[in-house]
Amino acid sequence: MSLLELKGVSLSFAGSRVLDAVDFSVPAGAIVSLIGPNGAGKTSLFNCITGFYKPQQGSVRLDGTETLRMKPHQVTRLGIARTFQNVRLFREMSVRENVMAGQHCRTGAGVIDAILRLPAQRREEAATRDFAEACLRFVGITEGWDREATTLPYGWQRRVEIARALATQPKLLLLDEPAAGLTSGEKEELIGLIGRIRDERGIAVLLIEHDTSLVMRISERISVLDHGVMIAEGTPREIQSNQKVIEAYLGVEEDALDL
């Protein structure tokens, strides 16, 4: 059974259809890419998966549990975490605190414990801190934990964001254009990191990415979205030779040439 299963998901905004009866799945422990021209609805699909948008039709299931009527924080608790196309770290909070904030839905000490700072709360606070630091080390950030997160170099901020998503202890990690703005060296590191997230933590990864060579290298399956319709699904080799996909991308290039 698939970890994530979307069936017939349709989403409209003010009458214009953004997603049209999309069927899509991510097997447990897989690395899957979602590609497609700009404006194809990829980020909208992410927003449907995280419970941020409510599709008018269809079903979204994680591990067999319907998430459509859940609030975003409940979906996160169920096991889906994401990063953003343009990095969105919490301003005025340190690197470590950003990652600690990601553990909110996994910590059990209640408000009363926190107000009174009972021993259980202190222990949990220490455990939260340790786990945050472990997540930071995992993504390769071993220093600067007390710096304000938004003052870090861009490539580091991207990794802090991945660490924060890992801190929510997801089963499925959604990465929205994780390679955007990275140098080629940083892209190599990212490929290694995505592999380790799956291999060492057993977390399935779903990414939106425009860097085609990166997508072809790390994906086990690729899905192609065009104008809100899923036009192809398959292995990287199958996608590269798929006629519909070639047309979709060529169409866009022609549009681009008109400019």
What is the rounded CA–CA span in Å between residue 148 and residue 97? 9
The CB-of-131 to other proteins minimum distance in angstroms stands at: 12
Q: How far apart are CA 73 and CA 124, in angstroms?
A: 20
Site track for other proteins across 36-55, x = CB under 8 A: --------------x-x---
The answer to whether residue 101 forms part of the interface with other proteins (CB under 8 A) is yes
123 binds other proteins (CB under 8 A): no
The DSSP bridge pattern shows strands 57-62 and 2-13 to be antiparallel
Q: Is 244 in the site for other proteins (CB under 8 A)?
A: no
Residue 180 binds other proteins, judged by CB under 8 A: no
Query: Nearest distance from residue 163's CB to other proteins, in Å?
Result: 12
Q: Can you tell me which of 59, 66, 88, 250 binds other proteins, judged by CB under 8 A?
A: 88
Contact pick of 8, 65, 91, 134 for other proteins (by CB under 8 A):
91
How many whole angstroms separate alpha carbon 175 and alpha carbon 208? Answer: 6
Query: Smallest distance, Å, CB 167 to other proteins?
Result: 8
Q: Does 73 bind other proteins (CB under 8 A)?
A: yes
Judged by CB under 8 A, the number of residues near other proteins is 36
**Smallest gap, in angstroms, from Cβ of residue 129 to other proteins?**
10
Residue 125 binds other proteins (CB under 8 A):
yes
Interface with other proteins (CB under 8 A):
50, 52, 71-73, 76-77, 81-82, 84, 88, 90-93, 97, 100-107, 109, 111, 114-115, 117, 121, 124-125, 128, 164-165, 168
